[in-house]
Amino acid sequence: MSFFVTLEGPEGGGKTSQAKYLADALTQADFDVLLTREPGGTEISDQIRNVLMAIENTSMDPSTEFLLFSASRAQLVRAIIRPHLDNGGVVVSDRYFHSSWAYQGYGHRLDLNALRQITDFATDGLSPDLILLLDLPVEIGLQRRLSGGSWNRLDAYEKQFHQRVREGYRTMAEANTEDWVMFDASEPSDAVREQILNIVLRRLSQD
Ligand code: TYD
């Protein structure tokens, strides 16, 4: 039985380690799990990621950003995600298209309807079965990023931008409480880890 779950949220919410914990726990529970991340996840997508993250690309327009994220995603879906789901596996992805809607749509105010159409084309209509939103206040998230030392071009946008991103995520989650589950990522990560695993296992047993 295939299942596609994504982790989303603003900077510093611990998505990457939570995605890894979740993938490991599901593997131990005997699911055939593939862990991936965006932007990246294939060799071609990693090359696109390097262009997106390069600190010198300060003049990149948000529409270029969106199209590069979408191009990277198109490759990841067709080369990795779709084949694994077609084999009946579970895919855990650290970010997916809702990141583009939150950052380029809500954050940079690109037209959400246009983004939806391009996303539909890029992903061949593949939506996640479950979206886990690791929500936390912008100040805490950016502080964690700074002390973590992996600062990139996109982290450097102004604070109001990150605020719009957070609000955008919350708006999407509140509009569709069936597919989205929101967690308080300012809590200790082991508490969040348990909550995530319980919800995913419950959803897997329902499907
Ligand atoms: P990364 O260092 O992988 O960060 P994180 O640990 O926060 O996931 O950087 C990914 C950055 O790219 C992050 O700032 C969010 C941004 N992003 C977008 O703006 N749009 C997108 O579609 C995706 C996938 C990521």
85 CA distance to ligand 1 middle (Å): 24
How many other β-carbons are positioned within 10 Å of the β-carbon of residue 205?
Answer: 7
CA of 38 to the centre of ligand 1 (A): 7
What pLDDT does residue 142 have? Answer: 84
Q: Which residues line ligand 1 at a C-beta cut-off of 6 Å?
A: 11, 15-16, 38-39, 69, 95, 99-100, 103-104, 150, 152, 154-155
**pLDDT tens string 162-204:** 999 999 999 999 999 999 999 999 998 999 999 999 999 999 9
Give the predicted TM-score (pTM) of the model. 0.95
The average confidence (pLDDT) of the chain is: 94
Residue 155: pLDDT over 90: no
Residue 34: C-alpha distances to residues 18, 31, 153 (Å): 14, 9, 28
Ligand 1 centre and the CA of 200: distance in Å?
Answer: 23
Tell which wins on pLDDT, 199 or 146.
199
Rounded CA separation 186/183 (Å):
9
Residue nearest to atom 7 of ligand 1 (CA): 11
- pLDDT tens-place string over residues 42-55: 999 999 999 999 98
